[in-house]
Amino acid sequence: MTDSAAPRGSRPEPFAATGSGEPGGGDAPVEPGAAPRHARPAGDPADDGPPARRSSFLRETAIIVVSALVLSLLIKTFLVQAFFIPSESMEDTLLVGDRVMVSRLVPGAFDVHHGDIVVFKDPGGWLPPPAEQDDGPLAEGVRAALTFIGLLPQDTGEHLIKRVIGLPGDHVVCCDAEGRVSVNDEPLDEESYIKPGSIPSQDPFDRTVPADMLFVMGDNRQDSQDSRYNTGKPGGGYVPMGNVVGTAFVKVWPLSRFELLRNPGDVFADVPDAAP
């Protein structure tokens, strides 16, 4: 005896193969030897399953990574770039190990102003030769690549960071009867940014800034090799405007020192324009 039987007196219906592979599936019978209707030819991409999905995932991941790298490079080239502080010359505004973000829109889209903190390429001889690092070619290559695209902060081995005191044409002098720096005969009250305990300058100077040049000083005046002390080097101690990478506008690391770097406009508010 079987679990099911045809009604007495009736002829059992022959089993018909259907496209669904089940009796009574509603599809037309499949001829003997023919492929089932839902079967796919060998090599059909849909039969590849997981390999096809893996290929698609890898392709999309590569597109995302390349796009991110290109975007990072464009941002570094045209908008902002990270730098770290290696020396004490800008204390207490910037400490050794601070990371700052620098706007690449200055100079260019925006002008350089008195009081700006600028990062610039060494005009020549301001910095000692960089110490050689022996981390191996692979590590050095990876670091250089990540720095180039802006994912690591720029090594300041060929860059300096100082504050702009004199613009092109300015007459910068130190010191007046009260020991202050003056610009175009206007004395500056620099207490808001120079390092506590420092004086505006321990050495006198009297300079007129050439066209397309900047006169810069560190905030730690007694420990800064700036425009005062590089007169015998290329540029005569001035910074060519073309060497300026940009202006620092925010400290981003360590987080405990996160702070916007605002221009001390009030210090220079009464400085007249340079004489033509």
Catalogue the active-site residues.
89, 162
Report CA dihedral (16, 17, 19, 24) to the nearest 10 degrees.
40
CA distance 17 to 20: 8
Of 77, 115, 119, nearest in space to 98 by CA: 119
Query: Is-contact 158 167, C-beta < 8 A?
Result: no
Query: Is-contact 250 103, C-beta < 8 A?
Result: no
- Residue 267, φ and ψ in degrees, nearest 5: -65, -35
CA distance 5 to 28: 24
